[in-house]
Chain A
Amino acid sequence: MYDILKKRFLAPDICLMEVLAPRIASSAKPGQFLIVRVSEVGERIPLTICDYNPLAGSVTIVTQQVGASSRRICALEEGDAFVDFAGPLGVPSAFIHEEDEALKQKKYLFIAGGLGTAPVYPQVKYLHEKGAHVEVIIGAKTKDLVIMEEEMRQVAKEVYVCTDDGSYGFKGLVTEKMKELLDAGHTYDQAVAIGPMIMMKFVTLSAKEYDLPLTVSLNTLMVDGTGMCGACRVTVGGQTKFACVDGPEFDAYQVNFDEAMRRQGMYKTQEADADHKCRIGLKNG
């Protein structure tokens, strides 16, 4: 059992939890994820790692309640526990292999969509500690759904917030903000986009116009997360890859997003909502 040490809501439907998992806390690296189960009959649910503290043995996760399984996670309280908490899974971000000296010279742009802000945070934190220059665009539907802005400001040179409805920050999509920055002459060695698949697809199309190197992190369906089932397969550069062991991060320009989006829907109920809320976890109709 993995105890929940702290829980708080970041937004009405988004909760952050610190969970006691010493092995993961001391081995997690930026870019990795984990798999949890809430009960003995529960699904294996992949979640991104938002932060980790090897000294305290704790790992931070952020969950948005959209489907049955994520609702069960958010219903847990401090003092409750996860029955299973496995990880860290996946390949860490490529930049962890770069020399500190090289990182100091580099400029990164992160594009975080909605809940994607959570996995962006440990990456930005890591790069900040290594002395890299990092800017972050955070996008959300509306002001209430902007998460972790304060934490991000502690580690990023610049944070640009965009909301679809203009209730906070820049009014418009992350792609528009990104274009604005690039058009204004900002340059970056590398960009990283994490968010809903549809957002990553459009960021990729926009970034291409500027020849901006771009990495994306794919949140596919998963079962085991260890390479054993192929539920997470995606086409990258014309080849089948398993997102859980070959990814989750890939060169954005090689990813077949349309296939990836279609495959995400494999177990959705027929009346699945059109606004691309992730409802993985519901029984198939």
Chain B
Amino acid sequence: MAKIQANRIPVRSQDPAERVKNFEEVSYGYNTEEAVLEAARCIQCKNPRCVAGCPVSIQIPQFIKAIVEGNMESAATIIAADSSLPAVCGRVCPQEVQCEGACIMGIKHEPISIGKLERYVADWAKENQFSTSEKVPSNGKKVAVVGSGPAGLACATDLARAGCDVTVFEALHKPGGVLVYGIPEFRLPKEDVVEYEIGQLQKMGVTIETNVVVGRTVTVDQLFEEGFHAVFIGSGAGLPKFLNIPGENLNGVVSANEFLTRSNLMAAYDPESETPIYVGRKVVVVGGGNVAMDAARTALRLGAEVVVAYRRTEKEMPARIEEVHHAKEEGVVFQLLTNPTAVLGNERGWVTGLQCVQMELGEPDESGRRRPVEIPDSTFDISCDVVIIALGTDSNPLIGRTTPGLEMNRYNGIVADENGVTSREGVFAGGDVVTGAATVILAMGAGRKAAKSILEFLKIGIL
């Protein structure tokens, strides 16, 4: 057996000093030579822990082996069997707590860079126009997919592969869900990755109707009247939470969703765009997840000085490790164990600062993370002119409220079992709208499971 290579092949990325001035992708990914070297590090476990760590059980050692053998088509085919958005997942999955976190190599050495290898294969497939998507003859069944985020796209892909006539209804003017309005260009290139994936879907014959707000423009019942045989709901969890502290409606306080939507969906960073964005000189981002990192790094690129205020420590931050690392490299300042208590403003109603208290970690809570508790008399102010709130999101109650018989949970989400089956016959759901804000891979997995249930419901044999 070959000698163990303890360390990863490093991945090239844009220089931090340069990249804070642009919105181009930070990580360049592996080239073929690097990918093959990294793939060769995999020891091809008999009982691969990585696969158990992957939410959709991609046959990881098999595709890695195909890379080593130089058979990229085979690698792409193996991944496509379990994932419909590999170019996206390779870039945004929290691999350190999934496949890579479980990889046996990680016990003594560095785990295999599975995410970067997945991205390499997906990018290779695109560059070489190797496509696993083609139009199949229609089976005569019409399915409506509501929402075009990862859940909706994955569900639509599998249904189209089985020959269903699929229409995706999207409320916004561009399909992609969080992939287009939330995650920034420098982490997930829109044209090269997201639009390409959506183009593949259209090639398979899927129709995408934008500007349709289901529940308003048309109801789920009306979709059935229009002749759809089943409806999948993947409307995500897009309703931003606020802190409910004094001063939160001052001018200069925005949700991360607003800030990122202006910058990403509306391309406000581009001088051509007519949508305004306000960054001020100093920004405080409240939160510690991917959304907070994305908002912080976007504000940085728009020229502001940025502080992230998070109420626990770095260890508890839910953001991907790579994003925290990149944010630090770029100059984002982390103010940890810090909990905001009020937004401060001037007489004209604009933000002048954020009042906070210092926290310390106490007993673990139900999530297993140590609960932050306030240190008495530790109030202090951070001066700033913009506060971005990145505290997470809830589901939009619109579809639930306008669909009789569809059971909702107390967070306004839709109740569905693990196969995406809801309380209403013919209506299926999956992704963030069912689980609350989670991850791209889980949403994609849920979309695929629901597609399977829909095919069973429509009595169509699975290909």
Interface residues of A in 31-74 (CB under 8 A from B): 32, 37, 41-44, 68-69
A201 CB within 8 Å of chain B: no
Stretch at the interface among B209-217, B282-290, B328-336: B209-217
| Inter-chain contacts of A42 with B (CB < 8 A) | 274
| A27:B217 contact, CB within 8 angstroms | yes
A188 CB within 8 Å of chain B: no
User: Shortest distance in angstroms between B279's beta carbon and chain A's nearest beta carbon?
Assistant: 9
Of all chain A residues, the one with the shortest Cβ separation from B169 is A23
| Inter-chain contacts of B248 with A (CB < 8 A) | 240
B172 CB within 8 Å of chain A: yes
| Inter-chain contacts of B251 with A (CB < 8 A) | 262-263, 265-266
A166 CB within 8 Å of chain B: no
Partner of B210, one of A84, A231, A283: A84
A198 CB within 8 Å of chain B: no
Of all chain A residues, the one with the shortest Cβ separation from B396 is A227
Q: Could you tell me the dominant secondary structure of chain B's interface residues?
A: loop
| A228:B238 contact, CB within 8 angstroms | yes
Of all chain B residues, the one with the shortest Cβ separation from A45 is B274
Partner of A233, one of B249, B276, B398: B249
- Rounded to whole angstroms, the CA-CA distance of A154 and B432 in the bound complex is 49
User: Shortest distance in angstroms between A95's beta carbon and chain B's nearest beta carbon?
Assistant: 19
Partner of B173, one of A83, A87, A266, A281: A83
B269 CB within 8 Å of chain A: no
- Rounded to whole angstroms, the CA-CA distance of A234 and B252 in the bound complex is 14
Partner of A84, one of B211, B218, B274: B211
| B242:A245 contact, CB within 8 angstroms | no
| B211:A86 contact, CB within 8 angstroms | yes
Interface residues on A, range: 35 or more
| Inter-chain contacts of A69 with B (CB < 8 A) | 274
B275 CB within 8 Å of chain A: yes
| A283:B272 contact, CB within 8 angstroms | no
| Inter-chain contacts of A142 with B (CB < 8 A) | none
| Inter-chain contacts of A86 with B (CB < 8 A) | 171-173, 210-213, 217
| B267:A41 contact, CB within 8 angstroms | yes
| Inter-chain contacts of B258 with A (CB < 8 A) | 223, 229-231
| B210:A228 contact, CB within 8 angstroms | no
Mask for B386-411, Cβ within 8 A of A = 1, else 0?
Answer: 00000000001010000000000000
A93 CB within 8 Å of chain B: no
| A89:B216 contact, CB within 8 angstroms | yes
- Rounded to whole angstroms, the CA-CA distance of A116 and B248 in the bound complex is 29
User: Shortest distance in angstroms between B201's beta carbon and chain A's nearest beta carbon?
Assistant: 20
A224 CB within 8 Å of chain B: yes
| A226:B349 contact, CB within 8 angstroms | no
| A88:B242 contact, CB within 8 angstroms | no
| A227:B278 contact, CB within 8 angstroms | no
| A223:B266 contact, CB within 8 angstroms | yes
B273 CB within 8 Å of chain A: yes
Mask for A254-268, Cβ within 8 A of B = 1, else 0?
Answer: 000001001101110
| Inter-chain contacts of B255 with A (CB < 8 A) | 229-230
Chain B CB within 10 A, most for which of A24, A235, A240, A266: A266
A11 CB within 8 Å of chain B: no
User: Shortest distance in angstroms between A263's beta carbon and chain B's nearest beta carbon?
Assistant: 6
| A226:B238 contact, CB within 8 angstroms | yes
Partner of A230, one of B217, B254, B266: B254
| Inter-chain contacts of A83 with B (CB < 8 A) | 173
- Rounded to whole angstroms, the CA-CA distance of A37 and B171 in the bound complex is 14
B48 CB within 8 Å of chain A: no
A282 CB within 8 Å of chain B: yes
Of all chain A residues, the one with the shortest Cβ separation from B271 is A283
- Contact status of A284 and B276, CB under 8 A, knowing A245-B398, A263-B249: yes
A85 CB within 8 Å of chain B: yes
Partner of A44, one of B216, B266, B349: B266
| A41:B173 contact, CB within 8 angstroms | no
- Rounded to whole angstroms, the CA-CA distance of A41 and B174 in the bound complex is 12
Partner of B211, one of A85, A227, A228, A233: A85
| Inter-chain contacts of B239 with A (CB < 8 A) | 227-228
| B254:A231 contact, CB within 8 angstroms | yes
Mask for A156-178, Cβ within 8 A of B = 1, else 0?
Answer: 00000000000000000000000
Contacts A226-B171, A259-B249 given; 4 further ones with Cβ under 8 A? A24-B217, A86-B211, A88-B216, A282-B276
Can you sample 18 A-B contacts with CB below 8 Å?
A23-B212, A41-B270, A41-B274, A44-B266, A83-B173, A84-B173, A86-B212, A87-B213, A89-B213, A223-B262, A224-B171, A226-B213, A228-B240, A228-B261, A229-B240, A229-B257, A231-B258, A284-B277
Top 4 closest A-B pairs, CB basis? A229-B258, A86-B211, A228-B238, A267-B276
